[in-house]
Structures are given as C-alpha cells and as structure tokens.
Amino acid sequence: MVRINNEHIIVSLMEFGFERVDKELFTFVLGKLTLDNRKLNSFILIDEPNCSFFDEVMVYDEFGWHLKDDLTLNSKYYENSDVTIRQILNIQPELVNYFNTIDFREAILNKIHSYGISEVNELGNHFCDKEKAIIKEMFKIEESKKEVVETLPKEKLLSRVLFIPRKDL
C-alpha cells in the first residue's frame, strides 16, 4: 500500500494536468479516493505536514493550490542544474494512474452549479485550463447529441424518448 497525504494528492493532480487544485477538486478527489480505496486497498491516507519544498514553491489563495509566480512543474529549480520542480515534488505515480480512472466531469459540474454559471464564457478564473478543456469537451458532446436528435425523424425521436425498442433505430 502507498502512503499518501494532502501534499501527494495536490502535486499528483498537478502532474495529471490540473494547474491549480481548489477546495472543490481536492474534496471531490479525496472523497472518491476514500470510497474507491475500500475496494482497491491501495492507499493509506495519513495526516502529516507538507514538506518544506512544497511550502517553498506552492501557494494557496482564493483560487486554490498552485505553483508560485511563473513556476511550472518543468521549471529548473537549481541554478546550473537540470533538476526540475517535478522531480523534487512528491508526485505519486500510483495516484496519477488512479486519476485516469476518475470521471472528473462530476466534480466540474458540481463546481459550475456552486458558482451559478450558466454560460461557457462565464468560467473566468474559477476554472483551470484542464477543467475548461473538460467543460468544452462536455459541451461538444452535448452539441453532437443535439445534432443527432435534431436530424432524427419524428417517429424515431419519439421512440427514443419513450425508450420503445425499435429494430430500425
């Protein structure tokens, strides 16, 4: 079993592609991980302080946890060295692999509802680029479903809505 803490979850989410980890995303992942771990039995959640390097390069503000200033995971941390921040942070590959099994749309939809957002152009700074990409993908899926529904003949559309099995659908 892999021992993980809050820091591991945050930096592993960043490795997964979230540039910022806010309380909604963190809470969703922690809850999902706790429930899934009952079956997986892969992780041991521990309560321990963050390492000093994490505190040195990360900041928590109204938008959540993110790297300070213009740092990225690929930023070189030491002068005259190829060592990146990614290599120093406590990224857990097992967590990153676990994140591949999670459908983050639920967390993002909850966040959209909590902010009362009804239009894609209202996303603003509440969502990081990865979340915006997931939202745009959801929007494309909904648009493609809408096009399919609009092109179906009326009787096929009715049977689809009523869940009447038809061989010609």
Q: Of 102, 118, 143, which one is at a domain's C-terminal end?
A: 102
Please, are residues 21 and 66 in contact by the beta-carbon 8 Å criterion? yes
Question: What pLDDT sits at residue 88?
Answer: 95
Q: 112 and 86 in one domain? A: no
Q: Does residue 133 share a domain with residue 109? A: yes
User: What pLDDT, on a 0 to 100 scale, did the predictor assign at position 155?
Assistant: 46
Among 78, 102, 126, the domain-final residue is 102
For helices 6-16 and 23-40, angle between their N-to-C axes, nearest 10 degrees: 100
State which residues form the domain around 122: 104-169
- Tens of pLDDT along 9-25? 999 999 999 999 999 99
Alpha carbons 70 and 77: distance in angstroms, whole number: 12
Structurally, how many domains does the chain consist of?
A: 2
Do 88 and 9 share a domain, yes or no? yes
- The rounded percent of the chain whose pLDDT value lies above 90 is 62
81-119: per-residue pLDDT in tens?
A: 899 999 999 999 999 999 999 999 999 988 888 888 877
Contact 62, 72 (CB under 8 A): no
Q: What does R_g of the chain's alpha carbons equal in angstroms?
A: 21
Q: Is the dihedral of CA 154, 160, 164, 168 positive or negative?
A: positive
- Other C-beta atoms closer than 10 Å to the C-beta of 131 total 24
Per-chain mean pLDDT for the chain: 84
Confidence of residue 165 (pLDDT cuts 50, 70, 90): very low
